[in-house]
Amino acid sequence: MEVVLQEHINNLGKMGEIVSVAPGYARNYLLPKGKAVLANRVNKKALEHQLKTIEAKKLKVLATLEDLAQKIESISLTIPKKVGENDKLFGSVTSAEIVEALKSENVSILKEQVKIDEPIRTKGVFNIPIKLNDKLMPMVKLWVVEE
């Protein structure tokens, strides 16, 4: 029996795939739990429509992220901090401070998207990666200066 999966099921398939399963498995588990629907003509057309709209949404989101990446690449942030001996900072520059500085430039991101390998504890110029998705990771230029 062919069914259209409504969600990802391990060892069977991903959401939106048409798979063949045993009739009992479909009638007793997949269909009653809403994990799949019968792969008839109407449901196949609905699936095609859903896949087209999902693809269009993905393209729109990707275009928005690419615009945001270009905006981030063009930004240069300055964060003033108190500095002690040997140009060492009192404390360090955190990802929350970088997010706040980006907000002042009208860029809204989460602090989890700021990828700092190690704490910034000296003044200077740093390139900070911002992870927008798996493929887009623009760099923002950060100037840490003496207060």
Q: Is 99 helix (H, G, I), strand (E, B) or coil?
A: helix
The one-letter code for the residue type at 56 is A
Q: Which domains does the chain have, with CATH numbers?
A: 2-64 (3.40.5.10), 68-146 (3.10.430.100)
Residue with token string 């391990």 = 10
- The pLDDT value given to residue 38: 92
Helix (H) or strand (E) holding 76, with range, is: strand 76-81
The one-letter code for the residue type at 67 is D
Does the pLDDT of residue 78 top 90, yes or no?
Answer: yes
Residue of 119, 102, 122, 118 whose CA lies nearest to 110: 102
pTM confidence score: 0.68
- The pLDDT value given to residue 2: 92
Does the pLDDT of residue 134 top 90, yes or no?
Answer: no
- The pLDDT value given to residue 72: 92
- The pLDDT value given to residue 115: 93
The one-letter code for the residue type at 65 is L
Distance (Å, whole) CA 4 – CA 38? 6
- The pLDDT value given to residue 15: 85
As given in the structure block, the two tokens for residue 111 are 């602090």
Contacts of 142 (CB under 8 A, 6+ apart): 76, 77, 78, 79, 93, 98, 101, 120, 125, 126, 127, 128
What backbone phi and psi angles, to 5 degrees, belong to 64? -65, -45
